Chains A and B, each alone.
Chain A
Amino acid sequence: DIQMTQSPSSVSASVGDRVTITCRASQGINTWLAWYQQKPGKAPDLLIYAASTLQSGVPSRFSGSGSGTDFTLTITSLQPEDFATYYCQQADSVPHTFGQGTKLQIK
């Protein structure tokens, strides 16, 4: 199985800040990576696929980059609705695997 490791596991930030979350795959996955946002009591929402393509309706303050084994999710100018938990997921092969999550909290 491909292991996905996210860092940090939690981060505190303020409205208007810029935040970067990283995700590392245990082997190369090209750009077959997704980022999801999850709010308490809800299912995850697809934010970004193919490492850098925003899903329809996702604000442009979200961006993704990377290929191979190292990926980043960046949120510029944090908004109150962005405080949530973020997960990366590899789409290269089954079994699909997720990172352990990064909880973005209000400072």
Chain B
Amino acid sequence: QVHLQQWGAGLLKPSETLSLTCGVYGESFSRNYWSWIRQSPGKGLEWIGEINHSGSANYSPSLKSRVAISLDTSKKQFSLRLSSVTAADTAIYYCARKHRYSYAYYFDYWGQGTLVTVSS
């Protein structure tokens, strides 16, 4: 059974860097994309980006200049870094597995979510 467990700092000051990590249990990194998605009251669910087992990443154009997703295959973890945060980055951040069903990929396993608040 696949399980994603995420952790990281929940309170940041403006201009700091958000850093979250997601551990993957019960599954290898191959054949999937490993994603970060956030949810805020003002913008709903927003896809941040993803990385595959070979380290190839895709990012949301609106966040691309500030975001980096990496993975550590030996530890079965992947991480999100978002730099220069502002109050607009306050949200619940989720890690998720994007898995192929039929001819496309869907988010079928999610972490528990981490509330990140940006406040001075």
Query: Which A residues contact B (CB, under 8 angstroms)?
Result: 1, 32, 34, 36, 42-46, 49-50, 53, 55, 87, 89, 91-92, 94-101
Contacts and interface: CB of A to CB of B under 8 A. Distances in A.
Interface in B69-115: 94, 96, 101-108, 110-113
A49 B106 contact: yes
Q: Which of A42, A45, A91 has the most CB of B within 10 A?
A: A91
Interface of B is mostly: strand
B104 A95 contact: no
Interface residues of B, number: 23
Given A49-B102, A50-B104, 18 more contacts: A34-B106, A43-B96, A43-B113, A44-B107, A44-B110, A45-B110, A46-B106, A46-B107, A46-B108, A49-B101, A49-B104, A50-B101, A55-B108, A89-B107, A91-B104, A96-B47, A98-B45, A100-B44
Nearest to B95: A43
B61 A1 contact: yes
B17 interface: no
Contact of B44 (A34, A43, A55, A101): A101
B60 interface: yes
A34 B94 CA distance: 17
